Amino acid sequence: MAAPPQAWPHLTLAGDGSTIATLHLFSQVIGKVPTAVLPWRNHGWHLALHLTPRGLRTEPIHAAAGTFELLLDLVDGEVVLDLGHSLSSLPLAGLSVAELHQGVGDMLVRAGQEIRVHSVPNEIEPAVPFAEDRAPRSYEPDSGRRLLGALLSADRVFRLFRSGFLGKVSPVHFFWGSFDLAVTRFSGRPAPRHPGGIPHLPDAVTREAYSHEESSAGFWPGSAGTPSQPLFYSYAYPAPPRFAAAPVEPEAARYDENFAEFILDYEAVRAAERPEEALLAFLESTYGAAAELGQWDRAALECVRGRPHVPRPV
């Protein structure tokens, strides 16, 4: 799988962490809109954002005054309201969370969209209401563009990985609560009741999200609540016995007791001779540990990875 020239850009906590934290909070303002309007879909998939060559967008939001989308544009550094027949935008640089929240609300009102959202962040401690969060926020356009490049690189490999599974599998999509790009495979069996307890996230949401056995992997660049070096992760719910001790690839991958999941630093992938192969090895080996130890029906669920123009054999 040939990588485009802009793949795997440099991305660090020290250089980009403040912009990543800002974008996490800004993405929550956007993500609250589909959450308020769209009918609930399994595992909360309706509220996720979706990656585009320009940034992160909502699904089409079918509201009373018409259909629209919101885009967090990381190329030009702005929030865009797309009504189909017209566009409105708001630059990100120099805004507080309160100003972005007000600006997005004003754009929607001018478009005739009267939408009431729950204006408090999720999965962040402390959870300062959007309208009260007037702290200065750092946004460096170059950091935003390099984050987009990292997300697109991960997305390309995640989609190839996703194509090797015939069972129930999520889209590759972006959760603004935790601020990560994720893809999830399911065994097809119900899971034990999740204990809940995720900060500022209703337990009913968590329990519905983890209602079935899963192996989930993703790319997490850090967040507003938990600054971190960018990394890839993989976990199983419920984690089968001996999962933490399973051998995984590549050599730089490790099990982290604090996160309770396997992690692989983004920089280790970026520095690898073949980054795509290193990331695929991580995805396949950690999923394989979850499926093998969890006694999934692998013969029925798995298939060769997809290729252009080649339908699945039947």
For residue 312, being part of any structural domain is answered with no
Do residues 100 and 247 both lie within one domain? no
Classify residue 34 by burial, with Cβ atoms within 10 Å: 0-12, 13-18, 19+: buried
For residue 309, being part of any structural domain is answered with no
Do residues 159 and 252 both lie within one domain? yes
DSSP 65-81: TEEEEEEEETTTTEEEE
The domain boundary residue, chosen from 84, 103, 132: 132
CA–CA distance, 79 with 93 (Å, rounded to integer): 11
Q: Which residues pair with 236 in a beta bridge?
A: 215
Find out whether 92 and 99 touch, Cβ atoms under 8 Å: no
CA–CA distance, 64 with 62 (Å, rounded to integer): 7
pTM greater than 0.85 (yes/no): yes
The 10s digit of each residue's pLDDT in 7-38 is 899 999 999 999 999 999 999 999 999 999 99
Query: What percentage of the chain exceeds 90 in pLDDT?
Result: 95
Query: What range does the domain containing 224 cover?
Result: 141-301
For residue 310, being part of any structural domain is answered with no
DSSP 29-89: HHHHHHHHHSPP-GGGGGG-BEE-SSEEEPPPEEETTEEEEEEEETTTTEEEEE-SS-EEE
For residue 88, being part of any structural domain is answered with yes
The 10s digit of each residue's pLDDT in 219-277 is 999 999 899 999 999 999 999 999 999 999 999 999 999 999 999 999 999 999 999 99
For residue 111, being part of any structural domain is answered with yes
Do residues 115 and 172 both lie within one domain? no
Q: Which stretches does DSSP call E strand in 221-268?
A: 231-237, 254-256, 261-265
Mean pLDDT along residues 195-216: 97
For residue 32, being part of any structural domain is answered with yes
Do residues 99 and 125 both lie within one domain? yes
Do residues 271 and 123 both lie within one domain? no
CA–CA distance, 275 with 193 (Å, rounded to integer): 37
The domain boundary residue, chosen from 82, 101, 132: 132
The 10s digit of each residue's pLDDT in 86-126 is 999 999 999 999 999 999 999 999 999 989 999 999 999 99
Do residues 284 and 155 both lie within one domain? yes
Do residues 42 and 93 both lie within one domain? yes
The domain boundary residue, chosen from 79, 97, 132: 132
Do residues 148 and 94 both lie within one domain? no
For residue 8, being part of any structural domain is answered with no
For residue 307, being part of any structural domain is answered with no
pLDDT confidence band for 5 (50 / 70 / 90): low
Do residues 289 and 180 both lie within one domain? yes
Residue 2 above 80 pLDDT? no
289 sits in which H/E element:
helix 275-293
DSSP 3-21: PPTT-S----HHHHHHHHH
Do residues 170 and 286 both lie within one domain? yes
Find out whether 26 and 72 touch, Cβ atoms under 8 Å: yes
Do residues 21 and 167 both lie within one domain? no
Do residues 191 and 290 both lie within one domain? yes
Number of structural domains (the chain) is: 2
CA–CA distance, 263 with 91 (Å, rounded to integer): 34
